[in-house]
Amino acid sequence: MAPMGDNVVVSNIELEKLLSMKGGKGESSYANNSQAQAMHAKSMLHLLKETLDRVQLHGCSDDNEIPFVVVDLGCSCGNNTINVVDVIIKHIIKRYEALGFNPPEFSAFFSDLPSNDFNTLFQLLPPHLSNDNGGVSMEECLAANNHRSYFAAGVPGSFYRRLFPARSVDVFHSAFSLHWLSQVPECVVEKRSSAYNKGRVFIHGANESTANAYKKQFQRDLAGFLSARCVEMKRGGSMFLVCLGRTSVDPTDQGGAGLLFGTHFQDAWDDLVHEGLISSSKRDSFNIPVYAPSLQDFKEVVEENGSFVINKIEVFKGGSPLVVNKPDDAIEVGKAFANSCKSVSGVLVDAFIGDKLSEELFLRVQKRATAHAKVLLHQLQFFHIVASLSFPQSQ
């Protein structure tokens, strides 16, 4: 009998239609497993605000009719995106008021792939604070903490292509998303290629050709992202980007991402093979479409694009992705690790081997992580590439 799961197939073309974080509000949902991202974002707020201070404010007059447009790319479906949009808009309102002007009205676009759980996101949005006379002041904003001072809309589509009309966006923000590739490079799943990722489901510890194929894909994707944004951004606008990164120059050492997808997750796939639940070629055809770039990998693309002024590109220590109440409780650490893994890769794994085998896989991830809880808590650290870019007034 053929091993289970061999009849469920996901092609590269479908990745864009399929990829999403776990929706809803369940135990392994992204909404319930993104506290670490929230903490990492908080530790970078000063860098975000520095970027916002560079945005050219338009229409500084008392009859400011053009809306100020903020976009979060790769918003997913938790509170993080709502919180960051709130921070951005409050900061911009403060800047208008410091100059003695009424702020304009604000539009916020929440953008992600079409399979994102926009329903959960929209349900989390606080009600709109309406002010028929135009923008909302800082006092009104603070007095109505549970309200939003912007018009909200969802935009489905890949951020590697155009999503907005030309010259329509003042601030682009994107956090913890750009390390997701648009596709697994074809040569990585091609048996005769030197880049075939035999025996592995991620590039951590893979051979050099496999890692280089991922690097090329990342750089091609980022180039597409920047080309789209430099058409969409208003002159004088700014962009704040954060994605998983690594400190090593060697792409086969993926740092924190490597520990997340290249150790217990990898071993759990091997367990399924050894237990005869899936074939080894089935495992070998699954690859996590994530690449944690080095500073150099990222910078090269921005410089090559040449449209943006680089205010800052740096590697920033994010910390552990595991948020646990009782760090001494190995079972809790194991669960947190498995949930963390599942919240970001579960949808892909479900599509690839089906829900039942996916459940088996993550049970094995949890068991293995529980057995290595102490090491995980100590070693699992994320680093991020943080980029602050501005689009010049005129070129």
Ligand X SMILES: C[S@@+](CC[C@H](N)C(=O)[O-])C[C@H]1O[C@@H](n2cnc3c(N)ncnc32)[C@H](O)[C@@H]1O
Residue whose CB is less far from ligand X, 113 or 257: 113
Backbone angles phi, psi at 147, to 5 degrees: -125, 165
Please, where are the H alpha helices in 99-170?
118-124, 138-143
DSSP class per residue in 345-383: HHHHHHHHHHHHHHHHHHHHHHHHHHHTHHHHHHH--EE
Residue (of 213, 211, 209) closest to 221 by Cα position: 213
Query: Rounded to 10 degrees, what is the CA torsion of 57, 92, 46, 127?
Result: -150
From candidates 182, 210, 266, 340, binder to ligand X by CB under 6 A: 182
Site map (CB under 6 A) of ligand X, residues 109-138, x = contact? ---xx--x----------------------
Residue whose CB is less far from ligand X, 37 or 263: 37
Cα gap 385→241, rounded to integer Å: 8
Q: Residue 8 burial (CB < 10 Å; 0-12/13-18/19+)?
A: middle
Alpha carbon of 168 to those of 50, 81, 229, 266: distances in Å?
22, 20, 10, 43
Contact (CB, 8 A) for 76 and 34: yes
Site map (CB under 6 A) of ligand X, residues 35-64, x = contact? --x---x-----------------------
Contact (CB, 8 A) for 236 and 171: no
The answer to the question of residue 160 lying near ligand X (CB under 6 A) is yes
Residue whose CB is less far from ligand X, 102 or 182: 182
For the CB of residue 163, give the shortest distance to ligand X in the complex, in Å: 8
The answer to the question of residue 340 lying near ligand X (CB under 6 A) is no
The answer to the question of residue 88 lying near ligand X (CB under 6 A) is no
The answer to the question of residue 352 lying near ligand X (CB under 6 A) is no
For the CB of residue 297, give the shortest distance to ligand X in the complex, in Å: 17
| Stretch of 154-162, 199-207, 292-300, 368-376 contacting ligand X, by CB under 6 A | 154-162
Cα gap 150→164, rounded to integer Å: 18
The answer to the question of residue 81 lying near ligand X (CB under 6 A) is yes
| Stretch of 108-116, 280-288, 363-371, 373-381 contacting ligand X, by CB under 6 A | 108-116
The answer to the question of residue 76 lying near ligand X (CB under 6 A) is yes
Helix (H, G, I), strand (E, B) or coil at 69: strand
Helices 79-98, 35-43: axis angle to 10 degrees equals 20
For the CB of residue 117, give the shortest distance to ligand X in the complex, in Å: 9
Token look-up 């002007």 returns 101
For the CB of residue 52, give the shortest distance to ligand X in the complex, in Å: 17
| Stretch of 78-86, 129-137, 258-266, 351-359 contacting ligand X, by CB under 6 A | 78-86
The answer to the question of residue 177 lying near ligand X (CB under 6 A) is yes
The answer to the question of residue 78 lying near ligand X (CB under 6 A) is yes
Helices 208-232, 295-305: axis angle to 10 degrees equals 40
The answer to the question of residue 180 lying near ligand X (CB under 6 A) is yes
Return the residues of window 4-33 that contact ligand X according to CB under 6 A. 19-21
Interface residues with ligand X (CB under 6 A) are 19-21, 34, 37, 41, 74-76, 78, 80-81, 112-113, 116, 158-160, 175-177, 180, 182, 344
